[in-house]
Amino acid sequence: MPELITDLDAIRRLALANRDAFEILRHQLEAMDGLDDAPLDAFVEAVAAPISAAIDCTQCGNCCRSLHVYVTPADAQRLAEGLHVPLDSIETNYIDHETAADEGEWGVLRARPCAFLRGKLCSIYQQRPDSCRRYPQFTPDFRWTLADMINGTALCPIIYHVLSEIVHRVDAGELKEA
C-alpha cells in the first residue's frame, strides 16, 4: 500500500474537496436495490482492513480530541476497576448522564478533548470504552450510516482514505448488483 496522507490539515482540505464525490457514492449505494447489505459490508471491510492497518493511531488521536464518547455501565465499571477508584467517583468526575440522555444513551465522557488523552495516547488503553475500541466503525449497515461517515472524513484519516478508496472502486465497476 502506498504511503497514506495523515496530516490532519491536509485531510480536512481533501475531505471538503471530495465531499460531492462522497455524497454521490451515498446516492449510488442507496439506489443499488440489487446489492444486499451483507455483501456490501463485506466489500467495505475488505477495503478498510489494509487502510486501518497502515495508519498509526498513536500518531494521531484526533478522534479523542474531537468526538463525544458514549459509555455504558460496563465501561464505567471497567474504568473503576482499572483505575482502582469507586464507581461513583468515576460517574461523578467523568460521566455526564444528562447530555447522554438527550441522545438516548446511558452516559458520555464529560471532557472534550478526552480527559484520559495524554498527548496523542490513551492513558487508559486497556480499560477504554467499547465505543473507542470500535472507532472508526464502518459496518454493519455501511449503506445507511454513510451520511455520518462522510462527516467523519474531515477528522479521521482512516475514514477519509476508506471512503476515497470505495469511491474509486465503485467508479471502476468493482461493486456489482446481483
- The amino acid sitting at 33 is D
- 97 vs 118 by CB, closer to ligand SF4: 118
CB of 99 to ligand SF4, least distance (A): 16
Q: How many CA atoms lie within 13 A of 124 on its CB side?
A: 21
Cell of 173: 465497476
- 59 vs 92 by CB, closer to ligand SF4: 59
CA 6 to chain centre: 15
Q: Residue from 4, 5, 35, 122 that binds ligand SF4 (CB under 6 A)?
A: 122
Contact mark string toward ligand SF4, 88..107, x via CB under 6 A = --------------------
Q: Residue from 4, 54, 83, 124 that binds ligand SF4 (CB under 6 A)?
A: 124
- 25 vs 61 by CB, closer to ligand SF4: 61
DSSP 140: S
Residue in 6, 151, 127, 5 with CA at minimum distance from that of residue 67: 151
Q: Does 54 bind ligand SF4 (CB under 6 A)?
A: no
Q: Residue from 63, 80, 90, 149 that binds ligand SF4 (CB under 6 A)?
A: 63
Mutual angle of helices 19-31 and 142-152, in 10-degree steps: 170
CB of 148 to ligand SF4, least distance (A): 14
Please count the residues of the chain: 178
